[in-house]
Structure 1
Amino acid sequence: MAAISLWAFYRAPQWLDRGVLRPYWLLRRRQWGTVLSHAFLHADLTHLIFNGFSFWAFAPGLERALGTPRFLLLYAVGLLASTLGTWFKQRHNPAYQCLGASGAVMAVVFAAIALFPGAKLYILPIPVPIPAPIFGLGYLAYTLWAGQQQRGRTNHEAHLWGAVSGLLFALAVAPGWVARAWLG
């Protein structure tokens, strides 16, 4: 994913335009390939770094816990859920377009929170660790609020539906584990 984005930034910028998800045009022009292609491209280097770091921080432990087939399924479910959420909100907006794997990455982050609620997260510049469930609630609240503001270039619907799909996936594939993790 990172290599494709970097190649597009520096060697093939036309890939960004061809690979972008445009919800309004998805059905009208049958741009089905963009459901997948948009997740392999990022809007800029900062976007790629944030997604890459978040994935790096949560994916290895989660993949070990779930196993590779379930982990890959989680990622695909997060991508699909975040794309559907984006499509639903933006399907009447011909100017809207988005890139990035943020929804799938949020599915990974929130599945990890569901399975490892005792984890602590460090967020700069906050100097103290934040309990994972507190971070999760705060992040969801912020995402709901920011999605209503409709400002900036961030696809908050992708973040929201990716996070929700990650939580639901963890509950569906490991209900006993989630119950033990949360209830002791």
Structure 2
Amino acid sequence: MTSYTVIIVIITCLISFIAFSNLKVMDALIFWPPAVSMRHQYWRFVTCGLIHADFMHLAFNMFTLYFFGKALENLYMGELGLQHYYFLILYILGLIFANIPTYLKRKDDYNYRSLGASGAVCAVVFAAIIIRPWAEIWLYGIRMPALIYAVLFMVYSIYMSKRGGDNVNHDAHIWGAVFGIVFTIIVDHEVFGNFINALRHPNF
């Protein structure tokens, strides 16, 4: 069965590469809140995830998506017994949901732009973590439980969202992560109970 993760990575890389050298494509796909509120261009909630600021931005998101996405697809179909397409639904809705708070905050800000798949990637990462909280993650050469990474990531994102000034949409990271957790619990109610049980029995 073809992996949705691989398909998303390929499509995102191709469109991002095109947009790097084509400003018309970039402008048509980027998340620009006034274009949604004034021109009803709702597709921008999704298409902004197909373009990136530069190669490093693209590489980081797609590298993270590839490894966590493949793992989550296996968890969804194997451990949770879900249909293959649930992963695709998570990813697309994650893109949309992650950008809604930004839209509500910036819908009249003509100078604001946002791009990248980070919100959806965070949804994938945190969906995997809620299922396997004690899985091993390596971050900058440091080995840690996935749950510890999740806590550190959320604390950092909330702090940076309040601080601002770094041209990164931390709100999208936060709400993408929240969506990934909530979506996974909704599609399989046992996930929450298993997560609580895992907290009571650390395994790292």
Normalising to structure 1: TM-score of the pair?
0.92
Determine the structure 2 residue equivalent to 1:97.
113
Residue 181 of structure 1: how far off its partner (Å): 4.3
Distance 2:32 2:109 in 1: 9
Aligned with 1:166 (options 158, 165, 180): 180
Aligned with 1:113 (options 121, 129, 133): 129
Aligned with 2:36 (options 9, 26, 48): 26
Distance 1:13 1:92 in 2: 22
Residue 74 of structure 1: how far off its partner (Å): 0.9
Aligned with 1:15 (options 18, 22, 25): 25
Distance 1:6 1:141 in 2: 32
Normalising to structure 2: TM-score of the pair?
0.83
Distance 1:6 1:83 in 2: 22
Size of the aligned set, in residue pairs, is: 181
1:99-122 Cα distance to aligned partner (Å, 9 max, x none)? 111111100000000011111211
Equivalent residue of 1:54, what SS?
Answer: helix
Distance 2:145 2:105 in 1: 31
RMSD of Structure 2 on Structure 1 (CA): 1.5
Determine the structure 2 residue equivalent to 1:136.
150
Extract structure 1 runs of 4+ deviating beyond 4 A: none
Unaligned runs of 5+ in 2: 1-11, 78-83, 199-204
Determine the structure 1 residue equivalent to 2:59.
49
Query: Percent sequence identity over matched residues?
Result: 33
Unaligned runs of 5+ in 1: none
Contact 1:117 1:182 in 2 (8 A): no
Residue 42 of structure 1: how far off its partner (Å): 0.8
1:73-125 Cα distance to aligned partner (Å, 9 max, x none)? 1112211111212212222322111111111110000000001111121111x
